[in-house]
Amino acid sequence: MAVSRTAQGFTLVEVLVTMAIFAIIGIASFQVLNQMVHTEEQSEQIRERLERVQFSQLLMQQDIRQMVAKPTRPSGLEVTHQYVSNDPEYFDSDSGVLAFVRTGFDNPGNIMPRSELKPVVYRLRDKKLQRVTQTFVNDRSSEPTVQTLLENVTELSFRFYQGEASSNSNQGVDQGWSDNWQSQGSLPRAVEVTIESENLGTIRRIFLIAAAGQVAVSQGEGSPRDN
């Protein structure tokens, strides 16, 4: 008696073709899934970078805006009335640097073991944008706090705006701007910050200074260790 084809099952060729089709579908699905995972990882890295940039810009804005005219003693002895410094060699920076004193830390009755003023330095070390702070303005007895804000930074630079009438060397859009701040007894009206990043390109922001034009902070203000 003849056996029907339906009872014979699949042939070897049919099985191989089916396996090949499933293999192709599996490889294609894996590639799609792998690409989705890779894209998600890249998106997460970009989000983290943008969040760090936003945080660094917000921190810079808060610090620079609350810059105050505070006499300091960089050498530990002689008092200087140059309230802003941008000497990379003095602050051990690979590129530009910005050093100043900011206010805004309320400490009624000096209850907390800190000052109402804080020295702040922005510098570039080993391709890292760092924020360096001390507990007190002229006290170097403790180790500074070093906070890394951004990585893969190749260049850091600053410009300072004092006013159009104060600068005769620059004209047009650059009038009133200077690459170096050497004025004593005054603060710039604004600071331009330029960051060159390997991942994000050029980041440039201008921050206004609220205390520009105000008189120097009294030597007796805040904690006795401020001076």
pLDDT by residue (tens digit) across 138-162? 777 778 889 999 999 999 999 999 8
Q: How many domains does the chain have?
A: 1
Q: How far apart are the C-alpha atoms of 14 and 34, rounded to whole Å?
A: 30
> From the CB of residue 162, how many other CB atoms can be counted at a distance below 10 Å?
18
How distant is the alpha carbon of residue 120 from its chain centre? 13
Q: Which domain holds residue 173?
A: 56-226
Return contacts of 7-14, CB within 8 angstroms, 24+ apart.
none
As a whole number of Å, the end-to-end CA separation of the chain is: 112
Kindly report, residue by residue over 18-51, the tens digit of the pLDDT: 888 888 888 888 888 888 887 877 788 788 888 8
The answer as to whether 40 is a domain residue is: no
Q: Place 113 in a pLDDT band, splitting at 50, 70 and 90.
A: low
Position 38 in a domain: no
Residue 114: the pLDDT is 60
Contact 84, 160 (CB under 8 A): yes
Nearest-CA neighbor of 127 among 95, 100, 152, 103?
152
**CATH number of the domain residue 181 falls in:** 3.10.610.10
